[in-house]
């Protein structure tokens, strides 16, 4: 199934999810429009995250393969931009081709600053632990690359797996899935949360929190989000409760980091997954106007033998300071999808949109299904109604089945009200696509 380091852990533990069971799913036929078929060459291949828009209607992303470098088999990836054309189409520009020596491949979502720079992360770098890169616009391409942070695989963290979030002061926050406390998590470290602060000479890195691998969680995966008060929220794939259903690694957590008056940060675990309510959250969270959090877990729930096929969950804050979890949907592995590994999009009415890498049409993609696009609509009287918007076929429309480490490629709304996203595989050349679909 997944081709990441996490899949190797799962297979070793014998808990890979089976694709079984059935569920009646509401299907809303929506026309998916492929904007671009990646070729695996100069334009990139196998997009490794979602896209982000600027105020002019351009969108940006990165691919795990392709590009002009010969350092990596199949290319080391590119950062790209698509610009709307006068005829209603899109023009792609490959802004930068990555190389192994300079850090590659790029992974996760990009962040665009107010001055037009683009920042992202790569899984390897000069010291092998990955890096945070910054691309500055030039009058032509390639854009100018510089390094905001080079991870050294030790206490400051290693292997960043998703992008960054910025506060109003221009500070950046991110997670690294390894490093930190090197005595934990098979001596690789259990990951860290870090901050990059702008200075006159570049960026200053501060480690805000080091995970222990116990009740506080281990291996943070999705990018962080900020609330209006400046608190950070994220997920860890493992840790939490190390006994019972998820022994010995733990089922994962949702955590909050709050800055105190002295400037120090305190971690609070606001939810510990136990298996039936979710297992292995790989994605980022979204927050609605009322302060509720929403996310997905790759496994868990009450369908599919052994590990479950994953869930969509909600966490609601209570006056007592506790958070109440509600499972909004249990995936069955059939037409509704399976094993969501990307975050959600949310509109002003509280409707949630997401994707799964498996399930859909059972006969496609080797019998697992190629994934789906779904929405969850708040129902009168409570609860949510699940609707499948599209089932990928693995052909020209793309395939969500992971071929690279693309754990978090959430959908995003464009200024036209449509949803935009990427698939890591499928398309006319099998290198993935950028697509648009009406919500």
Is 98 contained in some domain?
no
Residues 431, 45: Cα–Cα separation, whole Å: 5
Using an 8 Å Cβ cutoff, are 65 and 75 in contact? yes
Per-residue pLDDT tens, the chain, 439 aa: give them.
333 434 433 333 333 333 333 345 777 767 999 999 999 999 999 999 999 999 999 999 999 999 999 889 899 999 999 999 999 999 999 999 999 887 899 999 999 999 999 999 999 877 778 999 999 999 999 999 999 999 976 788 999 989 999 999 999 999 999 999 888 898 899 999 999 999 999 999 999 999 999 999 999 999 999 999 999 999 999 999 998 888 899 999 999 999 999 989 999 999 999 999 999 999 999 999 999 999 999 999 988 877 899 999 999 998 888 899 999 999 999 999 999 999 999 999 999 999 999 999 999 999 999 999 999 999 998 899 999 999 999 999 999 988 665 567 899 999 999 999 999 999 999 999 999 999 9
Using an 8 Å Cβ cutoff, are 217 and 271 in contact? no
Q: Which two tokens stand for residue 110?
A: 């990009």
Domain encompassing residue 259: 163-283
Q: Are β-strands 172-178 and 26-27 bridged in parallel, bridged antiparallel, or unpaired?
A: unpaired
Q: Which two tokens stand for residue 148?
A: 């905001």
Is 129 contained in some domain?
no
Across 51-89, b (16+ Cβ under 10 Å) vs e yields bbbeeeebbbbbbbbbbebeebeebbbbbbbbebeeeee
Using an 8 Å Cβ cutoff, are 426 and 392 in contact? yes
| Residue 104 CB coordination number (10 Å) | 27
26 pairs with which residues across the strands?
387
Is 259 contained in some domain?
yes
Residues 257, 280: Cα–Cα separation, whole Å: 20
**Residue 23 has what pLDDT?**
46
**Residue 404 has what pLDDT?**
60
Is 107 contained in some domain?
no
**Residue 350 has what pLDDT?**
96
Is 269 contained in some domain?
yes
Angle at 40 between CA 80 and CA 93, to 5 degrees: 25
Please count the structural domains in the chain: 1
435 pairs with which residues across the strands?
34, 421
**Where does residue 14 rank: exposed (0-12), middle (13-18), buried (19+ CB within 10 A)?**
exposed
Q: Which two tokens stand for residue 221?
A: 């995966």
Using an 8 Å Cβ cutoff, are 420 and 435 in contact? yes
Is 138 contained in some domain?
no
* Max Cα distance, the chain (Å): 59
Nearest to 211 by CA among 263, 257, 275: 257
Is 251 contained in some domain?
yes
Nearest to 112 by CA among 128, 136, 91, 132: 136
Using an 8 Å Cβ cutoff, are 401 and 2 in contact? no
Is 181 contained in some domain?
yes
């Amino acid at each position: 199934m997944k081709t990441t380091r996490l899949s190797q852990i799962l297979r070793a533990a014998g808990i890979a999810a089976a694709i079984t069971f059935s569920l009646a799913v509401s299907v809303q036929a929506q026309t998916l429009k492929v904007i671009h078929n990646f070729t695996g060459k100069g334009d990139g291949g196998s997009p490794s995250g979602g896209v982000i828009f600027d105020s002019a209607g351009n969108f940006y992303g990165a691919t795990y393969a392709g590009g002009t470098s010969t350092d990596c088999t199949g290319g080391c990836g590119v950062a790209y931009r698509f610009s709307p054309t006068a005829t209603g189409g899109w023009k792609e520009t490959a802004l930068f081709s990555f190389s192994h020596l300079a850090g590659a491949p790029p992974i996760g979502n990009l962040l665009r600053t107010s001055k037009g720079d683009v920042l992202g992360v790569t899984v390897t770098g000069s010291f092998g632990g990955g890096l945070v890169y910054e691309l500055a616009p030039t009058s032509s391409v390639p854009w100018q690359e510089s390094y905001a942070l080079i991870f050294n695989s030790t206490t400051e963290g290693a292997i960043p797996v998703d992008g960054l979030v910025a506060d109003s002061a221009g500070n950046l926050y991110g997670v690294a899935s390894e490093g930190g406390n090197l005595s934990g998590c098979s001596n690789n470290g259990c990951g860290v949360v870090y901050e990059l602060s702008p200075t006159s000479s570049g960026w200053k890195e501060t480690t805000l929190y080091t995970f222990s691998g116990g009740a506080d969680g281990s291996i943070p995966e999705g990018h962080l989000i900020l609330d209006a008060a400046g608190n950070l929220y994220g997920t860890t794939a493992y840790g939490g409760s190390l006994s019972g259903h998820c022994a010995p690694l733990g089922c994962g957590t949702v955590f909050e980091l709050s800055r105190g008056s002295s400037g120090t940060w305190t971690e609070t675990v606001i939810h510990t997954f136990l298996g039936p309510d979710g297992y292995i959250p790989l994605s980022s969270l979204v927050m609605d106007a009322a302060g509720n959090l929403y996310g997905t877990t790759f496994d868990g729930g009450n369908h599919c033998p052994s590990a479950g096929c994953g869930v969509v969950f909600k966490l609601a804050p209570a006056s007592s300071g506790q958070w109440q979890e509600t499972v909004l949907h249990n995936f069955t592995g059939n037409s509704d999808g399976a094993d969501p590994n990307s975050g959600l999009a949310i509109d002003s009415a509280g409707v949630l949109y997401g994707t799964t890498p498996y399930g859909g049409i059972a006969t496609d993609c080797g019998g697992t299904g190629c994934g789906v696009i779904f929405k969850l609509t708040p129902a009168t009287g409570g609860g949510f109604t699940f609707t499948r918007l599209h089932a990928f076929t693995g052909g020209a429309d793309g395939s969500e089945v992971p071929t690279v480490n693309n754990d978090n490629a959430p959908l995003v709304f464009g200024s036209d009200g449509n949803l935009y996203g990427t698939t890591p595989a499928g398309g006319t050349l099998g290198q993935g696509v950028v697509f648009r679909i009406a919500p």
